[in-house]
Amino acid sequence: MLTGMYPSRHGAHYAGSWQSGPEIYGRKRVFPLAEDRVTMAELLRDRGYRTGAFVANFANLYRGFGMAQGFDHYDDAPGVMLKPFPHTVRFAQRFDPTFLKRPFRSASEIGAMALGWADREAAGRPVFLFLNLLEPHHWMLPPAPYDRWARALPDAGRLARKGIFTHAIPTRITEAEQNFVIATYDGQIALMDAGLGELVAGLKARGRYENALIVVTADHGELLGEHEQLGHGGRMMYEGLLHIPLVVKLPGRDHLRGEIGDPVQLVDILPTVLAALGAPVPPGVQGDALPHVKHEIVAEEHINPEFVNHYGDVYDRAIRVIYDGSYKLIATSKGERMLFDLEHDPGEARNLSADEPGRVAELERRLEATMSTMVTRAEAEPQAN
């Protein structure tokens, strides 16, 4: 999103073992974004913008991961996170299931802080704001009135206290539990939409909306019981995780309206922003400016050793995906191959890999050819002493 590069090229990833990577929160977790990678914040700062970031996910967007590159102001202040929870907290959660389960700042709070910071900047100077919101996540019961769908379901009180979320694969949940998870997630979406509405209203009140370029998107979706899975981290790359919203509002009153039917990706955001500004795209960027996206549509997920350590070998596989029209191939480092025709099977219920080995082989060839170019030649070759 911020580099226009896929993970294999920008190089930021979870550590391959407990003894590698920098120490973050007392654990050796990740290799952060390298300083020589150019971010959107750096590019805009160099064009005279003041750059500010306000993040709710203070864990995975911690500045030590390299996320703060190019920002004049980077607000990753932590909230309340107690591990393990004291018995008094667990007792209180029996009566209020949401008590101390929102350690992050809300979408409304993040938006207000961002607007307040922008207000303090010099009048007339352009501003780049990066806002990270942690709603929606299905495992949190939203506050009233956004909990009304979940609380209207039978046995809602017990389900709210149960803690349905689990890292187990497969996840066995009842129909009633799945309905509660979906209703909770819908409430979180409505809560986030309200926060975004406050942000847009704030921009309009300040006269900043019409000339603003606004991008609203997500880093992932959620599996809500489909394929016997809940959540996102380390799961199989089904459409519930990969198919996310991307809304772009261009500057000016006469900006284009409509929907792009062809697939686009997060790597396309940076070149789209630069194209709107008339700025050049730096070397190494792998995305294209909307609406003319011509690159292969691929996705990748590396192994997270923490998940393997805590939740078992079912997480011990890297995953790659490539799309070809309505066809989608999922390939894992353990040799699994899953081919789906999303036009006729949007729920990805029927694996066609055994029926269409030729298509699988061709998509594998294209996937390998694409992934082999992820790392630039200079990085792939060992440096001479």
Q: How confident is the model at residue 383 (pLDDT cuts 50, 70, 90)?
A: very low
- 316 contacts 303 by C-beta, under 8 angstroms: yes
- Residue 359: exposed, middle, or buried by beta-carbon count in 10 A (0-12, 13-18, 19+)? middle
The alpha carbon of 297 is separated from its chain's Cα centroid by a whole number of angstroms, namely 17
Of the listed ranges 260-274, 306-320, 353-367, the least confidently predicted one is 306-320
Residue 26: pLDDT over 50: no
Q: Cis check for the bond before 84: say yes or no (omega within 30 of 0).
A: yes
Residue 65: pLDDT over 70: yes
Supply the pLDDT for residue 346: 97
Supply the pLDDT for residue 125: 87
Supply the pLDDT for residue 246: 95
Q: Which residue's entry shows tokens 């099977």?
A: 345
Is the dihedral angle over the CA atoms 355, 356, 358, 364 positive or is it negative?
Answer: negative
Of the listed ranges 24-33, 187-196, 331-340, 364-373, the least confidently predicted one is 24-33
Mean pLDDT score, 275-288: 95
Residue 378: pLDDT over 50: no
Strands (E), 284-376: 298-301, 319-324, 327-332, 337-341
- % the chain with pLDDT above 70: 85
- 235 contacts 241 by C-beta, under 8 angstroms: yes
- Taking the C-alpha atoms of residue 317 and residue 309, their distance in angstroms, rounded to an integer, is 13
Cα Dmax for the chain = 69
Mean pLDDT score, 58-82: 83
Could you tell me the two tokens for 97? 């299931």
- Taking the C-alpha atoms of residue 231 and residue 241, their distance in angstroms, rounded to an integer, is 9
Q: pLDDT tens across 313-364, in order?
A: 888 888 999 999 999 999 999 999 999 999 999 999 999 999 999 999 999 9
Supply the pLDDT for residue 104: 78
Q: Which residues contact 44 (CB under 8 A, 6 or more apart)?
A: 51, 70, 126, 128, 273, 277
Q: pLDDT tens across 97-145, in order?
A: 555 555 678 899 999 999 999 999 767 789 999 999 998 876 778 889 9
Strands (E), the chain: 13-14, 23-24, 27-28, 30-31, 50-55, 73-75, 127-132, 214-217, 223-224, 230-231, 246-249, 298-301, 319-324, 327-332, 337-341
Instruction: Tell me which DSSP letter residue 99 carries.
Output: T
226 vs 71, 138, 238, CA distance in Å?
Answer: 39, 13, 9
Residue 92: pLDDT over 50: yes
Is the dihedral angle over the CA atoms 334, 347, 258, 194 positive or is it negative?
Answer: negative
Closest listed residue to residue 115, CA positions, set 201, 202, 194: 202
221 vs 86, 96, 257, CA distance in Å?
Answer: 31, 27, 25
Closest listed residue to residue 114, CA positions, set 181, 200, 35, 232: 200
Q: How confident is the model at residue 25 (pLDDT cuts 50, 70, 90)?
A: very low
Mean pLDDT score, 147-154: 95
Could you tell me the two tokens for 131? 């806002």
Provide the mean pLDDT of the chain: 86
Q: How confident is the model at residue 82 (pLDDT cuts 50, 70, 90)?
A: very low
Residue 382: pLDDT over 80: no
- Taking the C-alpha atoms of residue 288 and residue 225, their distance in angstroms, rounded to an integer, is 34
Supply the pLDDT for residue 311: 85
Report if pTM > 0.85.
Answer: yes
- 117 contacts 42 by C-beta, under 8 angstroms: no
- Taking the C-alpha atoms of residue 287 and residue 247, their distance in angstroms, rounded to an integer, is 16
What number of CA atoms fall less than 13 Å from residue 373's CA on the CB side? 11
Supply the pLDDT for residue 96: 59
Residue 83, SS3 per DSSP: coil
Amino acid at 375: V
Q: pLDDT tens across 210-258, in order?
A: 999 999 999 999 999 999 999 888 788 999 999 999 999 999 866 667 8
Supply the pLDDT for residue 98: 55
Angle made by CA atoms 305, 28, 231, in degrees to the nearest 5 = 40
Supply the pLDDT for residue 78: 72
275 vs 254, 269, 278, 279, 281, CA distance in Å?
Answer: 17, 10, 5, 6, 8
